[in-house]
Structure 1
Amino acid sequence: MELRHLRYFVALAETGHFGQAAQRLNIVQPALSMQIRDLEEEVGGPLFTRTRQGVLLTAAGEVLLTEARRTLAQAEHARDAARRSLRGEIGRVRVGFAGNAVLSGMLTEALRQFRARFPHAQVAVQEMPPNLQEDALVKGEIDIAYGTVEPLAENRALRCERIGNWPMVVAMAQDHPLAKRARVPLKVLANEQIIAFSSDDGDAGLVHLRAHLGIAVEPAFRVSSTLSVLALAAAGLGVALVPRSVEEIVLPGITYRNVSDAGSAGLLLLSRADESSGAVVAFHTLALEVAQTRSAAALKSRRST
C-alpha cells in the first residue's frame, strides 16, 4: 500500500464520484478505477459500494478513511519537517569556542542573528581549548568551532576558514615596570615571567615569542582560560601576550601595551567538510557573513582614521 493509493482513496471517499475524484487528482478515470481496485485486492475486500449516482463507503472503507487521513497527515508533517531541517529552521548546532571568539563579538553576533532567523533551532555553546576542537569535530561532539589552531593538513574531513586577525599586545599589572613604556620590545619579554594558556598550540602569544626570539621560551604559568591569564597578570605574577581583542576585558589592576614585532593572532572557523545538517550549514553560512561584515567595517574604520 503506497501513499498515492491512500490519496486516491480519500479523494474518492470525499467526492463519492469517480469522475470528480479523477478531476481533483488530475488523472484519468480509468487509472483511478484501477488504483482503487488494486487497493481493494490488497486489503482483501470492497471499500466502496457502487451506485448509479457514484460510490458509498463500506464499513471497512469507513475504518480505512480514518486511518488514511491520519497517515497522509503524518506523511505531510514528516515531509515538512525534513524540508525545515534542510533549510536550517529546525535541528541543533553545537558550537565550541575559544575566548577570543566572544571578545571579538563574532560569536555573539552570529548567535543573535541565528536566533532571529531560526527561532526553532537549538544552539548549545561551550568554551573549549583550541587544541581539543579538531578531535571534537571529528568525533561529532561539536558541529562548529571558533578557534586559533589549524587542523592537521592531512585531515581533509575538516574545513578551516580565517575570519579574524588581531595584533598581539602584552597584558601586565598596572604597576609593572614595563607599563611605563608606550610600546614594549618583544625581546624584553624573554626576561619576564610568561603566563600562557594550557596548550602550546593554542597559545598564540607563546608561539610568537618562540618564533621571533629564536629561543625556547618556557612559561612560568599555564592556565586554561583568558580570565585566568589576565588574573595572574593583574596580580603581578607575570606578563602575557594576548590578541588585541582581549583589551575589551577590563579588570582591576590590568593594563595593556603594544608590542614591537609581536605578530598577530587569527581567529578560525572550523567545520566538517561533508556537513549535512541544515541547521549547522545555516549557522556556518551566517558566521561567515558576520565575519565579512565586521572585517569590512573594521577596514573602513582604519581608512577613515
Structure 2
Amino acid sequence: MDLRHLRYFLAVAEAKHFGRAAERLNIVPPALSMQIKNLEDELGGPLFIRTSRSVELTEAGRLLQVEAQRILDQADYARQTVQRSLRGETGRVRIGFAGNAVLSGKLTDDLRAFRARFPQAELIASEVSPLAQADAILAGQLDIGYTPDHGKLHIPALRCEKIGIWNRVVALAADHLLASQARLTVAMLAGEPLIFYDTHGADKALYTSLTALLGRAPDIAHCSSSSLSVLALAAAGQGIALVPEPLMNISVPGVVYRPLDAPALAANLMLISRRKENNGAVDAFLTMASQSERPR
C-alpha cells in the first residue's frame, strides 16, 4: 500500500463509480479496478460493495476513508514544509556583522528585505569581530558574516564576495593640530600615532597599503576590537584612526572626521559564508544579499 493506492481509493469513494474516478485520475477503468483489487487483497477484505450502477463503501472502507485522507493530508503537509525549507521560507539564519555593515545601511537593508520576503524564517544578528567571524562560520556557530577583508577569509572552505567599498576618513580629537585642515593626505599622517583594529589581522591590508604609501611602517599606538573603542581612543587624543566613511554617522563627543585623499586605502565589506551550504534559508539570504545594490 502506498500513497498512490490511497489516492485511487479516495477517488472511487468520492465518485462512487469506477469510470468517473478513472476519468478524474486520467487512467483507464481496468487499471483502476486492478489497483483497488490489489489494495483489497493486501488489506484482507473488500472495501467497496459493487453494483452494476455504483459502488458503496463497506464498513472497513469507511474506516480507511478517514485514515487515508489523514495520511494524504500529512504527506502533503510534509511536502510543503520541506519545499518551504528548501526555498528558504523557513529555517534560521545566524549573521555576524562588523560595525560598517550597519552604519553603511547594507546589513539593515538586507535584513528588512529578507524579512519582507520570508517572514517565517528566523533571523539572528549579532556584532562579531571581523577576525572571529570566519572561525565562527567554519565551526557552525554562524552562517553568514559581514566583515572587512582580511587574511583569514581567503581559504577554500569559505565563500567570499565583495558587497561594498568606501573611502577612508580620518577620525581624530577635535583639538588635534590636523583637525584644522579641511582635507588630509597620507603625507600629513607620517609620524602620527595610529589606532588600528588589529595590526596584523583585521587591518592587515590597511597596514600593508599604508606602509607602501609612507615608505616605512606606520606608528601603531593602539589596537582595539570595536569601532566605538577606536573612536573613544581617538577622542581621548591617544592617536588618530583611519576608518571607513560610514563611521562618520557615529557622533562621538570630542571626535571630528576629515576626508583623506588616499583611494588606495579604501575600505571594503565582504559577505562570507560556508562554501558548502545545505540550509535553504541561508542560501536564500545569500542570493538576496548578493543581488541587492552594493553601497559605494
Q: TM-score, normalised by structure 2?
A: 0.89
Deviation of residue 106 (structure 1)?
A: 0.8
Aligned to 1:17: 17
- In structure 2, stretches of 5+ residues that fail to align are none
Q: For 1:99-131, what per-residue CA distance to the aligned partner results, in whole angstroms no more than 9, with x for missing partners?
A: 111111111111111111221221111111112
Verify the 8 A CA contact 1:131 1:149 in the aligned structure 2.
Answer: no
Aligned residue type for 1:85: S
Aligned to 1:301: none
Deviation of residue 150 (structure 1)?
A: 4.9
Which runs of structure 2 are paired with 1:1-305 in the superposition (5 Å)?
Answer: 1-150=1-150, 155-198=155-198, 200-203=200-203, 205-217=206-218, 219-261=220-262, 263-292=265-294, 294-295=295-296
Of 275-284 and 162-171, more deviation after overlay is shown by 275-284
Q: For 1:56-101, what per-residue CA distance to the aligned partner results, in whole angstroms no more than 9, with x for missing partners?
A: 2222222221111111111111222222223322222221111111
Deviation of residue 13 (structure 1)?
A: 1.4
Q: For 1:266-296, what per-residue CA distance to the aligned partner results, in whole angstroms no more than 9, with x for missing partners?
A: 111112333343322222222123234x45x
Distance 1:7 1:130, change over 3 A: same
Verify the 8 A CA contact 1:150 1:160 in the aligned structure 2.
Answer: no
Q: For 1:212-269, what per-residue CA distance to the aligned partner results, in whole angstroms no more than 9, with x for missing partners?
A: 3354446332222111111121122221111111111111111011234361111111
Q: Matches of 1:141 and 1:80 in 2, distance apart?
A: 28
Q: Matches of 1:285 and 1:223 in 2, distance apart?
A: 33
Query: SS of 2:42's equivalent?
Result: helix
Verify the 8 A CA contact 2:210 2:265 in the aligned structure 1.
Answer: no
Of 44-53 and 152-161, more deviation after overlay is shown by 152-161
Q: How many residues align?
A: 294
Q: For 1:124-177, what per-residue CA distance to the aligned partner results, in whole angstroms no more than 9, with x for missing partners?
A: 111111122222222332222111125668733322111111112111110112
Aligned to 1:299: none
Q: Matches of 2:155 and 2:206 in 1, distance apart?
A: 25
CA RMSD of superposed structures (Å) = 2.3
Distance 1:113 1:28, change over 3 A: same
Query: SS of 1:191's equivalent?
Result: coil
Distance 1:141 1:199, change over 3 A: farther
Of 241-250 and 259-268, more deviation after overlay is shown by 259-268
Distance 1:284 1:109, change over 3 A: same
Deviation of residue 207 (structure 1)?
A: 4.5
Q: TM-score, normalised by structure 1?
A: 0.87
Verify the 8 A CA contact 1:168 1:263 in the aligned structure 2.
Answer: yes
Q: Matches of 1:258 and 1:154 in 2, distance apart?
A: 30
Aligned residue type for 1:272: R
